[in-house]
Amino acid sequence: MTKITVAKGDGIGPEIMDATLEIIKAAGAKIEIEEIEVGEKVYLAGNTSGISQESWDVIRRNKVFLKAPITTPQGGGYKSLNVTTRKFLGLYSNVRPCRSLHPFVSTKHPVMDIVIVRENEEDLYAGIEHQQTDEVVQCLKLISRPGCEKIVRYAFEYAKQQNRKKVTCFTKDNIMKQTDGLFHQVFDEIAKEYPEIENEHWIIDIGAAKMADTPEAFDVIVMPNLYGDVLSDVAAQITGSVGLAGSANIGEECSMFEAIHGSAPRRAGQNLANPSGLLQGAILMLNHIGQTEVAEKVQNAWLKTLEDGIHTYDIYKEGTSKQKVGTKEFAQAVINNLGKKPDILKPVSYSNNSALQLPKYKRKPSAKKELLGVDLFVHWPGLDPNELAEKVKKIEANGIKLTMITNRGIKVWPDGFKETFCTDHWRCRFKPTEGSSINNTNIIQLLNNAINEKVDTIKTENLYAFDGKASFSLGQGQ
């Protein structure tokens, strides 16, 4: 018996959760349920995170969490419960299988069978944003070595366990050479440990286009958080419906399972919703907690039900479907099929599908870190970069010289183009002249001089070399 936390959520949540639990219990799932309330009611009662402290205690105690979709109320101030849960509980891996059910669910891609493995904790979802000038706001994209190693290793271990042949990595490292560059580099390093699995890297733009056009060319695809968020919805949708996909959020200690769709409030309370997405989440959960036989039984009964043409309104199609049913009738049809296998769709076998055991991340020895310069970001409402350069040169000190000014990354001084559009947000790069060096005291002197010269510095960014390798981007056009 495994104790799990269940949240029935909002909108269609309670109906699809009841249907899901009924099916898995009928299949023999050995689970004990502890229910918590999260979502709309909790938000509207004044809790901006949508969950109470007591509910966190329950989730952390039981470690396994099956969650129905929730409604995030409109208006500012409400934090996404999903993002918070993933990050608080260290659920670094988001796994989303997307498989076509041709010819029973209509799709343009009859042979698609992709698993998207999305990094789930970092990237632009660190949510660190600031307005810095009248015209410019920023969002920090944080990519870490542990984050990359954990997710890439998960993708390869998953491929190995599931007998999948290839792992593809999507990044945009032709532009983001440091952040996406690290993700790609770690992918190449870890791929070498799995010579039996094919590996490849695609630049995300053409990779995404290829996936939407020829999904049969892909198997497992691993990517950073934002790309994974977008492309996992695309992948699910092109199998025929987002309503059929579930996802697993896996951490070292805890895990959360859900449907990928939202709470569909307009369909709520009418016995209309398709419980398949949440049921797929529950099947991933049963595998994760080692109840693989139950998971297999439920999945085969579900495939058989779809094959029998018993469909909810969202996938019902004249000609292909045989019977349009509601949530409860669909659940009953799956229960009636427990023990049966599909005739045309391939039955599943989950004999070796338990939770993956991955080694814990080990921190590497520190590299030799050397300060090479500093970028001062300046709020200045003027237009001519030469004028700014004259002003900023006045703060130079102790052999630390202004070497470059960029605006939104493009070099505008020295030798900028008058055509380049400039905002009020400027990066001024300072470096020591030949024979000098720079330290933190020099940076404080620069900042002090900036105050005296009325140069409005909004932030600084140190320029480092790690083990002799300069680890910052050049100005575009430099």
Residue 269 φ/ψ region, left for φ over 0, alpha for ψ in the -120 to 50 degree band, beta for the rest = left
Residue of 277, 281, 416, 475 that binds ligand NAD (CB under 6 A): 277
Bridge partners of residue 425, in order along the sequence: 379
Judged by CB, which is closer to ligand NAD: 67, or 164?
Answer: 67
Q: Give CA separation, 331 vs 146, 245, 326, in Å.
A: 41, 16, 9
The one-letter amino acid code at 184 reads: H
Instruction: Build a one-symbol-per-residue string for 301-340: x at contacts with ligand NAD by CB under 6 A, - elsewhere.
Output: -------------x--------------------------
CB 244 within 8 A of CB 101: yes
DSSP notation for 9-32 = -STTHHHHHHHHHHHHHHTT--EE
**Distance spanning both ends of the chain, measured CA to CA:** 63
* 71 touching ligand NAD, by CB under 6 A: yes
* 207 touching ligand NAD, by CB under 6 A: no
Residue of 273, 345, 400, 463 that binds ligand NAD (CB under 6 A): 273
- Cα–Cα distance, 106 to 109 (Å, whole number): 9
Judged by CB, which is closer to ligand NAD: 28, or 73?
Answer: 73
Q: Minimal distance in Å, beta carbon 269 to ligand NAD?
A: 13
Residue of 243, 246, 342, 373 that binds ligand NAD (CB under 6 A): 243
CA-based angle 203:208:214, to the nearest 5? 120
Per CB under 6 A, the segment of 65-73, 96-104, 210-218, 405-413 that binds ligand NAD is 65-73
* 70 touching ligand NAD, by CB under 6 A: yes
Residue of 258, 296, 307, 375 that binds ligand NAD (CB under 6 A): 258
Residue at token pair 């069978």 = 113
* 249 touching ligand NAD, by CB under 6 A: no
CB 188 within 8 A of CB 87: no
* 38 touching ligand NAD, by CB under 6 A: no
The pair phi, psi for residue 349, each rounded to 5°, is: -130, 120
* 85 touching ligand NAD, by CB under 6 A: no
Restricting to residues 2-31, name those near ligand NAD by CB under 6 A: 12, 16
Size, binding site for ligand NAD by CB under 6 A:
19
CB 220 within 8 A of CB 155: yes
Residues near ligand NAD (CB under 6 A) are 12, 16, 69-72, 82, 243, 258, 261-264, 266-267, 273-274, 277, 314
